[in-house]
Amino acid sequence: MLSRRVNYFTESVIRDMTRLALKHEAINLAQGFPDFPAPQELKRAAASAIMDDYNQYSITWGAKDLREEISRKSSKYNHIEADPDSEVTVTCGSTEAMMAAMLALINDGDEVVVFEPFYENYGPDAAVSGAVPRFVPLNDDNSIDEEALAAAFNKKTRALILNTPNNPSGKVFSKEELRLIADLCVDYDVIAVTDEIYEYILYDNKKHISIGSFDEMTDRTITISGFSKTYSVTGWRIGYALAEKKLTSALRKVHDFLTVGAPAPLQHACVTALRFPDSYYKELVKMYDGKRKLLYNALTKAGFGCTMPEGAYYILADIPQGAGMDDMDFARHMVSEAGVAAVPGSSFYRSETGKRKLRFTFSKRDETLIEAARRLERAHTAWRN
Ligand code: GLN
């Protein structure tokens, strides 16, 4: 009775953990969304947009003033020149942009290269679009295994999914790594679909590089980003995709019939976001850097093995030694016994590696993180005894 494609994936484990956290009144370090308010100016802009009657459909591929502002931002920040009329599409979050990109590119059986660990959505994106994912595990230090990457490409490869800064690992891909990927994309005539939603959240002076800014990638990259993470408005569902004209027109067709368009008043408010001064982005990084250190110290104290992420707002941690549970059991145990929710590592891996890991987000108020730290430390004492 049901389609075969829905058998290939489950509902989001990340959102499942959120429901479990609510049930147990646990602190939710599972789902990556802020528990602090969005910028005041942005909230005012959204409220005014509604009162000023921006309440009907915008143009399906996005309000003109927003596309123009996105085009300016992408030129300045990403070094990507995208014509607002024919190369920018506003979507319902970057999640929709990813799915629309895949549906626009993939024929049944086409292969898609995906680095592991990967963001939970890419599996379902592949299943729904009919793609066969080819997972390429990163090395333990998050570097690329060049041989494994090259071996994943073949005549059937249609696309490569990239996510930098990376959710869940926090890896920020370097220029050299992106060059390697670009060379393979050119050699095998492959499109890079690149999810850059955490592009402003970078630590220790790391720089964000968009593979779409490389000359040879201009016509073979779909660059995706959005407003959720940079402006702390994950519930607004405003994202966008940049791609050359032909790719954009294919993606726009899918987008038009999937969603018609993103919420018009919120699109209008996002123009205000893109006009924030540079100091906004500096403050954002400073804030998340403090939270990163807070969570890192808390997890280390509680017996988790972890490394500092280079970007985004997650820590992918090894379950404390001696816990004697896999990721699913340990995640459930933590919610009910410690009162802290995290995401089981297997959501981000096809291999067994994920079973030893949990992902925690630090996109929360300091008070929330401090209370989580207290609970984890207390629970750790219990785990040890
Ligand atoms: N991107 C966020 C995360 O990784 C939210 C994802 C979701 O709701 N599935 O936690």
Q: Is the same domain home to 350 and 247? A: no
14, 118, 315, best to mutate for ligand 1 pocket (most atoms within 8 Å of CB): 14
Q: Is 12 in the pocket of ligand 1 (CB under 6 A)?
A: yes
Q: Do both 123 and 211 map to the same domain? A: yes
β-sheet bridge partners, residue 132: 111
Query: Tokens for 200?
Result: 């402003």
Would you state the pLDDT for residue 154? 98
206 and 334 housed in the same domain: no
Give the structural domain span for 63: 40-273
Residues 11 and 107 grouped into a single domain: no
Q: What is the pLDDT of residue 4?
A: 87
Atom of ligand 1 nearest to the CA of 31: 10
Q: Whose CA is nearest to atom 8 of ligand 1?
A: 15
* 125 lies in the same domain as 261: yes
Give 189-209 pLDDT, tens digit per residue.
999 999 999 999 999 999 999
Q: What pLDDT, on the 0 to 100 scale, is given for residue 368?
A: 98
Identity of the amino acid at 362:
F
pLDDT reported for residue 62: 98
Whole-model pTM: value is 0.96
Q: What is the CATH number of the domain that holds 295?
A: 3.90.1150.10
* Per-residue pLDDT tens digits for 313-335: 999 999 998 888 999 999 999 99
Q: Report pLDDT for 65.
A: 98
- Three-state DSSP class for residue 194: strand
Check residue 363 and report its DSSP letter: -
Q: Could you tell which of 31, 94, 343 is best to mutate to test the pocket of ligand 1, judged by most ligand atoms within 8 Å of the CB?
A: 31
pLDDT confidence of residue 384: 65
- Most distant CA pair in the chain: distance in Å? 63
Give the three-class secondary structure for 318. Answer: strand
222 near 101, Cβ under 8 Å? yes
Say what the pLDDT of residue 64 is: 98
* Same structural domain, 241 and 369: no
| Per-residue model confidence (pLDDT) at position 121 | 95
Residues 189 and 126 in one domain: yes
Which residue is associated with the tokens 């058998």?
Answer: 7
Distance separating alpha carbons of residues 299 and 352, to the nearest angstrom: 22
Q: Is 239 exposed, middle or buried (0-12, 13-18, 19+ CB in 10 A)?
A: buried
CA 328–ligand 1 middle distance (angstroms): 17
Q: Final residue of a domain: which of 232, 257, 273?
A: 273
SS3 132: strand
Beta-carbon neighbour count of residue 301 at 10 Å? 12
Is there a single domain that holds both residue 131 and residue 261?
yes
What is the token pair recorded at 353? 């590696």
Q: How far apart are CA 112 and CA 129, in angstroms?
A: 11
Q: Which amino acid is at 142?
A: N
> Would you state the structure tokens that stand for residue 95, as one six-digit string?
């999640």
Q: What CATH number corresponds to the domain at position 195?
A: 3.40.640.10
Shortest-distance Cα residue to atom 3 of ligand 1: 32
68 and 86 co-located in one domain: yes
**Same-domain pairing of 130 and 118:** yes
Do 236 and 145 lie in one domain? The reply is: yes
Burial 7-38 (b: 16+ CB within 10 A, else e): eeeeeebbebbbebbeebebbbbbbbbbeeeb
Please enumerate in sequence order all residues whose Cβ is within 8 A of that of 94, keeping only pairs 6 or more positions apart, or say none: 195, 197, 224, 225, 226, 228, 239, 240
The total number of structural domains that make up the chain: 2
171 and 47 in a common domain: yes
CB 255 within 8 A of CB 89: yes
Does residue 339 have its Cβ closer than 6 Å to ligand 1? no
Distance 169 CA to ligand 1 centre (A): 14
The verdict on the CB of residue 167 being under 6 Å from ligand 1 is: yes
Which residues in the chain show pLDDT less than 50?
none
